[in-house]
Amino acid sequence: SYNAGRRSANWVSWRLEAADLGSAARTNAFRADSDLPAELPVVGPDAYARSGWDRGHLCPSGDRTRSARTNALTFLMTNIVPQAPALNRGPWRDLEEDLRATSRREDTALYVVAGTVSSRNDPALPSGVPVAAFHYKVIVALPRGAGPSDARADDGVLAVLMPNGDEAQGHPWTDFAVAVDDVEAATGYDFFSALPPGVQARLEAQRGAALRPRFSRADDSSLRWQ
Ligand code: MN
Ligand code: MN
């Protein structure tokens, strides 16, 4: 979902499973998104240059390595937000890596939503892209082949709300785990709205750094992060 006023995404959502991962190299193909309607302002690949902000991926480059084509899609500037180096190269990246490790399980697909909260303008970014105070992620782990509307109350859910600044430095991502309810309060979005109210309420109240697929054993150490 693109926000023309903020010249960046409201949110980006994707599925991550083993088939998305391969041996394609990082393309670094940052570029304007030519699929946007022509009347909208264009954000080019150099929009953050010398601003001090990283070009932070919402859907990570590393989640799309099956082919050079799918990898290049993650470098469209509609998938990029100004991200503090301490976050982009710290807990945000660490969570990306942990999620990819989980997605290599043949029985599991992850559904992920990522976006930003509380934007302000930064004079260092003359391109008109505001900088968010927090970046969030909401993830649900489902059996491979299931669709998002098949989620059950006992499926693994994870949500994080991370500060987009130097405060992120030195923290494990687990320090920023919250409930989906907290991300709903911060963003105004209603996640999992296609699910029955009871399932939705149970999933959204879960709090803690766990993302346990429904068929995994409780002692599966590959999924225990805290
Ligand atoms: Mn990144
Ligand atoms: Mn909801």
pLDDT tens-digit profile of 156-166? 899 999 999 99
Question: What is the structure's pLDDT at 46?
Answer: 94
Q: Is 135 a catalytic residue?
A: no
Number of the ligand closest to the Cα of 199: 2
Distance 83 CA to ligand 2 centre (A): 26
**Residue 181 predicted with pLDDT over 70:** yes
Mean pLDDT score, 71-99: 97
Question: What is the structure's pLDDT at 87?
Answer: 98
Please tell me which residue in 57, 64, 100, 137 is annotated as part of the active site.
57
* C-alpha closest to that of 20 among 46, 51, 59, 78: 59
Distance 211 CA to ligand 2 centre (A): 18
Give percent above pLDDT 70 in the chain.
Answer: 92
Distance 192 CA to ligand 2 centre (A): 5
Q: Label each residue of 156-197 as H, E or C.
A: EEEEEEEECCHHHCCCCHHHHEECHHHHHHHHCCCCCCCCCH
Beta partners for residue 13, in sequence order: 113
Distance 93 CA to ligand 2 centre (A): 26
Distance 150 CA to ligand 2 centre (A): 15
30 vs 22, 130, 162, 176, 194, CA distance in Å? 20, 19, 24, 29, 34
Number of the ligand closest to the Cα of 53: 1
Number of the ligand closest to the Cα of 59: 1
What does the pLDDT look like over 12-56, one tens digit per residue?
999 999 999 999 999 999 999 999 999 998 899 999 999 999 999
Q: Give this prediction's pTM.
A: 0.92
* C-alpha closest to that of 117 among 169, 39, 186, 54: 186
**Residue 113 predicted with pLDDT over 80:** yes
Neighbours of 163 (CB within 10 A): 18
Question: What is the structure's pLDDT at 73?
Answer: 98
**Residue 219 predicted with pLDDT over 60:** no
